[in-house]
Structure 1
Amino acid sequence: MTATVTDSARAPGGSRRAIALLSLSQGFYTIMTMLLVTVSALAGHMLAEDKSLATLPFALTFIANTATTIPASMLMARQGRRAGFALGACLGIAGALLAAVAIAMASFLLLCAAMVLVGMSNGFSVFLRHAAGEAAPRGGEARAIAFVISGGLLAALVGPTLAGASRDAISPYPFLGTYLVIAGAALLMLIAALALDLRKPAGTVKSLSGGLGAAFRRPRFVIAILAGITAYTVMNLLMTATPLAMVACGLDFTSTAQVIQWHVLGMFAPALIVGRLIERFGLMPMMLAGCLLMAMAIGVGASGISVWHFRISLTLLGLGWSALFVGATTLVSLSLLPAERGPGQAANDFLVFGLVALSAFFSGQLIERFDWATLTLSALPPVALTACALAWLWAMEGTRPRAIGV
């Protein structure tokens, strides 16, 4: 089954406005994600009888995210980015409001159902960065993608304040106010989505099963997916477990929120310049720098359990994620022909967020059964494997791979 789509969104007129709106949407999306990271494991721990299932609701957001990426991609290929992002925002509003009801009713199952809706919302929002690459002038993909991802800096600036102020805002229901704030962020995403005017991607979008054989035979596409998986899975494994680990170490909620703030700053503040650094130094060196920063984060995390160990480790983790994930997204864009873009992006995000879902779930299991040092060290092998793959690709294609078909 195919869906014929119109011209590329690379028209210069309006592209800056579109990229700015996408960056703003990314900011609201990241506020939602940051608040979920801060409270979901704690809310799950509060409601679940089996405390090892504390991270299950958060894991379900990624499972639903994964299941939604393919239909979201196909829907946006037919109806356009604006319609897709607006639908995703509506799902986020519904999911956050249902989570607030779950807290009021002390229902773990209802919280899980709410997180499925939020995850479906995220399944649309993950395409914000791809939309930026499509809207950018040719050669400016890395800078546009990085600028949109930098919209998450908004979350780092206001997220901890929102988390702290909303946690006990509605007594006697901890976290209910936080989920209402998440619903508000989703509403702002909806408003930004309705203001978008993006054309549909160029070419003909096919089902996921068709048209990708050639793409998967390109080593750079496979390595781009591996890099995206490593960046997001390692980051999510450690980030999701951090609130539980800090509570287990006797650290308070305010310290946890501040550590997550520094982590989010590390993720999104560098994105303001990562695109320019990629253009100056090359894609491969920046992605390898991301691997090095993540390895340093693992080393610091494994060496102690003070607030400063958590803060430095999570900040380095965010910096590494920024370099590696922006690079991976750019490499995906450079690895696909226009007709492969829709299914290729869907396949990439399906694999990335499918494994992220597993990391979110197993982080709760690991933190219950092992100590923090063991959990952090378990993230080192995929980082090392990715670094080796990127070094090989650098040797084969140089520091600046060219777009396929150019």
Structure 2
Amino acid sequence: MSAAAPDVAELQRRVVRVLSLGQVLGGVAFGATISLGALLAADISGEDALSGFATASVTLGAALCAIPLARLAGARGRRVALTLGNAFALAGIALVITAAGVRLFPLLLVGIVLIGAGNAGNLQSRFAATDLSTGERRARDLATVVWSTTVGGVAGPLLLTPGEAIGAAIGMPPLTGAYLFSIAAQAAALVLYLVALRPDPLLTAQRLARDAGAEPGPRRERDHPIAARYAIAAVAASHVVMAAVMAMTPLHLQHLSHAADGVSLLVGLTISLHVLGMYGLSPVFGRLADRMGRVAVIVLGQAVFAAALVTAAIWPEEPAAVVVALVLLGLGWSASTVAGAALLTEASPLAIRPRRQGVSDTLMTACAAVGSVLAGVVLGQWGYGVLALLALVLVAVTAVLSPWGRIAAD
């Protein structure tokens, strides 16, 4: 086995490079898609109140397909699951463009659900980065792939204006031109995974595990179900805290601003800095998780969350404080989810790991959808400060339960 280690290490480096490039392409496609979904929903339905159905449909698609795609990965490998996710997204984009052309709202939602299914495949990339990784580098490799989302996430929305110009020139329905870039990016990612993700990292890891199990000596893999459950809960709770507060921040800033011309700039700057906080420092948190331990960095993330929420609760009427809170909220999410995903991976034997990863993604997206809806109610009834304090309860529970996530040395 030692002779094969260098080959496995080189394969892992190549896998991380391929997955990182795939995340850039997926981020470009998804960034443009999600930016247009709400606009198309409002335009086709004729009701601004129905624009939220676009975000809900994306979340529904991701939640419905996370577990099936994870099971498919366990049986057929990551390459098949990731390319199927890209195929779902391409089909969804085609339906969205068609729906815009025929002005059919239900067809639009079906297309957006399929795009959400594609995003479920995209989420698997971070777990695929850990299939062949050693414990010393697991969080770092995962965080590298997560960081790559920054590039596509920032570039995608910037393509809306040139995409609309190109779409208008070739006669596409209004608000759909940027989907040309989405189609190109998704198709490129599909080809990339089909061609370059060979040998498949998960199937290779399964083969190595079978070979190791056939050798004399103790088995290296053990199941740690309590730690795995804590990891799933910590990732879900962290995602709910981030999504609930972030989703209400643009509306809250709109209420605070007295100059209509300045609202878009303030909201855009705040969300951009928040996204930078979410992804920009993920490699740093990955390195910390490898050195300090997964649970320690999850707790660090909860401490950053607490700083963000206390800031928002004390100074909810100060735009500058809200911006600071959103940046800290992104950093807390990054630390907690990178370390939580790494903890879930190492707490689960390879045979059941994809299934648990799928459960984690399903729970994360579903809880965030519910949390965002409830956040709107809280904001309307009691305000932004109370929303921050209620989110702080989840942070406290996650921190208090952190001893459950510790894995004893074998």
Give the TM interval when normalised to the shorter protein: 0.7 to 0.9
Aligned counterpart for 1:232 among listed residues 236, 239, 242: 239
The 10-residue stretch of structure 1 (244-253 or 62-71) with the greater mean CA deviation from structure 2: 244-253
Partner of 2:132: 135
| Deviation of the 1:306 alpha carbon | 6.0
Deviations, residues 145-192 of structure 1 (Å, cap 9, x unaligned): 111111112135424533465577756976423444333332232132
Q: What code does the residue aligned with 1:278 have?
A: A
Relative to structure 1, the CA distance from residue 184 to residue 261 in structure 2 (aligned partners, 3 Å threshold; closer, same or farther) is: farther
Q: In 1, Cα distance between the equivalents of 2:55 and 2:29?
A: 12
Structure index of larger Rg? 2
Is 1:222 aligned to 2:233, yes or no?
A: no
Q: In 2, Cα distance between the equivalents of 1:230 and 1:145?
A: 20
**Contact 1:287/1:323 (<8 A) preserved:** yes
| Deviation of the 1:16 alpha carbon | 0.6
Is 1:262 aligned to 2:273, yes or no?
A: yes
The 10-residue stretch of structure 1 (168-177 or 57-66) with the greater mean CA deviation from structure 2: 168-177
Relative to structure 1, the CA distance from residue 35 to residue 95 in structure 2 (aligned partners, 3 Å threshold; closer, same or farther) is: same
Q: Secondary structure at the match of 2:177?
A: helix
Partner of 2:15: 18
Deviations, residues 194-228 of structure 1 (Å, cap 9, x unaligned): 22112414269xxxxxxxxx96x832112111111
The 10-residue stretch of structure 1 (31-40 or 332-341) with the greater mean CA deviation from structure 2: 31-40
Work out the number of aligned pairs and report it.
Answer: 382
Please show how residues 252-401 of structure 1 align to structure 2 within 5 Å: 252-302=263-313, 303-304=315-316, 308-363=320-375, 371-390=383-402, 392-393=403-404, 397=406, 401=407
Relative to structure 1, the CA distance from residue 285 to residue 308 in structure 2 (aligned partners, 3 Å threshold; closer, same or farther) is: same
Please show how residues 7-86 of structure 1 align to structure 2 within 5 Å: 11-36=8-33, 38-48=35-45, 51-86=48-83
Q: In 2, Cα distance between the equivalents of 1:177 and 1:188?
A: 18
- Report sequence identity in percent: 26
Q: What code does the residue aligned with 1:181 have?
A: F
Relative to structure 1, the CA distance from residue 383 to residue 389 in structure 2 (aligned partners, 3 Å threshold; closer, same or farther) is: same
| Deviation of the 1:286 alpha carbon | 1.5
**Contact 1:29/1:125 (<8 A) preserved:** yes
Q: In 1, Cα distance between the equivalents of 2:167 and 2:322?
A: 29
Is 1:192 aligned to 2:189, yes or no?
A: no
The unaligned stretches of length 5 or more in structure 1 are: 1-6, 205-213
The 10-residue stretch of structure 1 (158-167 or 130-139) with the greater mean CA deviation from structure 2: 158-167
| Deviation of the 1:142 alpha carbon | 1.2
The unaligned stretches of length 5 or more in structure 2 are: 211-221
Q: Taking structure 2 as the reference length, what is the TM-score of the superposition?
A: 0.81
Deviations, residues 308-348 of structure 1 (Å, cap 9, x unaligned): 44432322111111100001001101211222212222222
Q: What code does the residue aligned with 2:106 have?
A: L
The 10-residue stretch of structure 1 (259-268 or 276-285) with the greater mean CA deviation from structure 2: 276-285
Q: In 1, Cα distance between the equivalents of 2:252 and 2:164?
A: 19
Deviations, residues 25-80 of structure 1 (Å, cap 9, x unaligned): 22233344444554444544455556444322212212221111121112222222
Q: In 1, Cα distance between the equivalents of 2:390 and 2:296?
A: 25
The 10-residue stretch of structure 1 (322-331 or 134-143) with the greater mean CA deviation from structure 2: 134-143
**Contact 1:130/1:345 (<8 A) preserved:** yes
Please show how residues 151-166 of structure 1 align to structure 2 within 5 Å: 151-163=148-160, 165-166=162-163
Q: Secondary structure at the match of 1:58?
A: helix
Q: In 2, Cα distance between the equivalents of 1:234 and 1:246?
A: 18
Q: In 1, Cα distance between the equivalents of 2:175 and 2:324?
A: 27
Q: In 2, Cα distance between the equivalents of 1:112 and 1:342?
A: 28
